[in-house]
Structure 1
């Protein structure tokens, strides 16, 4: 590590082996990092750590979508921080680049599109889609739903704020990557269908503001329950 000509790819191996494991990152996060690491290795192959310049990094980031560019930038800043701390480079070239503005461009699911996705989805994802449509809850709340949360005919949900089947369905061909709706947009479609059916979807979906969600935190002494009846007919999607 005291070698001033340490290659970037060599240090990246060290970073993966020594820096990441103690952080106990989620499997999904590590998978995303692996994709970025492959990009970094290809981009800076044969370069010493102190030979990677601001311009090199900027050119790589400019070729990416804003979201991916910001992810790569944040990761490179951390990598070069560790490299600088080892004396392998005089400063952090990634930190001198500018974060990109991410515009939310994702479009909404259509009934036909979501139906096609559901047909390609495994059983657990079909159940999650059905629950999201009927209850209009966020994906984190869907994941927290448990059978032992059903008491006296009610499902108790403490709300929190927070693609595989979609690609297989190929129902949104021609849409840009940043426009592709994810699981979160199922909630938006649910609210639309509730309104179309003349039902109060917002009452089922829960509070819209961050401040109001404080009443639903797990460590609150007295959780304030709001009763709602999720009786939306989703047979046009589920068949």
Structure 2
């Protein structure tokens, strides 16, 4: 037999009900449909609180008559409802698949905590408390990322006339201290030597990354067919930046030439991917997953006797090492162009040794 739905007592104010089983009063929010327990209080007190809550909503949020709706009184929105509209806005931005995935997870987190809040009633204090919950857990990067997303969410709401101010703007992003250690060239050489105990592609991947300065996601997608007119052509997956790197590019500090490294890769296998494994996937693809590069690098790094602290460098730090070496040999502008940065500010971050190297006087 189907469960009988809860009926609201006609003798009580609307949205208020009394449950005999628990001997408690409950008030249901007419917008979010969430019930709030009032506890085992006197009937008179429960009625008074319900009337007060109903009047507050009717005066501030709910158009009580049809004529008010026709006149265009602002529709009440919860943050969760607005996020549905915001997701449509995101779809129009032509974001990268990985960015869409990350943004979806972030919106899910925000919706789970603040989805039932009225959009127009969310204030800076609520935003600050939400972000602080991550800071208290030592998740400063998460807090910073969510602050950026929340700011964009409310900015779009302002554009469409849903609200007038952005409650995120007065908050401050936490100052993040990057914990991962930088990699210097001496450490790179020791890890490279340890990588010889692994398949040949591990050391070749380290060489390719050092000579080109590209992200691991771009390294694994490099193909021999991308080489023409004496250059290796790359379209960066993260930014869409298109680079044409000459094969005669040399990094003197490492005694590497791009063309020579590529030829060693060509002689090591018969695949179209410059860096690949002999193992094939179900569709016959021999390309590597970016995480495979990281895991192989970590294995080689751990095989050395290097003391690299509590947060040792990963494969990605080869990109920073390349930028610092090229900056010394060819200047910061060349390093910026090679890394594919539109802003010199971003390149400066990669050039920062984080106290790893001495300042030459």
**Which TM-score band (shorter chain)?**
0.5 to 0.7
* Partner residue of 2:105 out of 30, 35, 40: 35
Contact map agreement 2:213 2:319 (CA 8 A) in 1 = yes
Answer yes or no: is 1:20 the counterpart of 2:20.
no
* Partner residue of 1:132 out of 209, 232, 238: 209
Provide the residue aligned with 2:245 in structure 1: 157
The structure-2 alpha-carbon separation of the partners of 1:71 and 1:78, relative to structure 1 and needing over 3 Å to count, comes to same
Provide the residue aligned with 1:233 in structure 2: none
Provide the residue aligned with 1:221 in structure 2: none
- CA shift, 1:206, in A, is 6.2
Contact map agreement 1:84 1:91 (CA 8 A) in 2 = yes
More strand by share: 2
- CA shift, 1:81, in A, is 1.4
Provide the residue aligned with 1:198 in structure 2: none
TM-score if structure 2 supplies the norm length? 0.42
TM-score if structure 1 supplies the norm length? 0.59
Supply the distance in 2 between the matched residues of 1:80 and 1:51 (Cα, whole angstroms).
12
Three-state SS of the structure 2 residue aligned to 1:20 is helix
Number of residues of Structure 1 aligned to a counterpart in Structure 2: 197
Supply the distance in 2 between the matched residues of 1:11 and 1:132 (Cα, whole angstroms).
43
Three-state SS of the structure 1 residue aligned to 2:99 is helix
User: RMSD between aligned alpha carbons?
Assistant: 4.7
More helix by share: 1
- CA shift, 1:209, in A, is 0.8
Provide the residue aligned with 1:207 in structure 2: 330
Supply the distance in 1 between the matched residues of 2:322 and 2:92 (Cα, whole angstroms).
40
* Structure 1 runs, 4 residues or longer, greater than 3 Å off: 1-4, 108-116, 123-130, 140-146, 148-156, 163-172, 179-183, 187-191, 201-208, 212-218
* Partner residue of 2:122 out of 43, 52, 62: 52
Unpaired runs of at least 5, structure 1: 192-200, 219-239
Provide the residue aligned with 1:194 in structure 2: none
Larger Rg: 2
Supply the distance in 1 between the matched residues of 2:77 and 2:140 (Cα, whole angstroms).
30
Contact map agreement 2:231 2:245 (CA 8 A) in 1 = no
After TM superposition, the structure 1 = structure 2 runs for residues 38-117 of structure 1, keeping only pairs within 5 Å, are 38-62=108-132, 63-64=134-135, 65-108=139-182
Summarize deviations over 1:66-99 as a string: whole Å, max 9, x none.
3322221121111111222333333110122113
Q: Which has the higher contact order (CA 8 A, sep 6+)?
A: 1
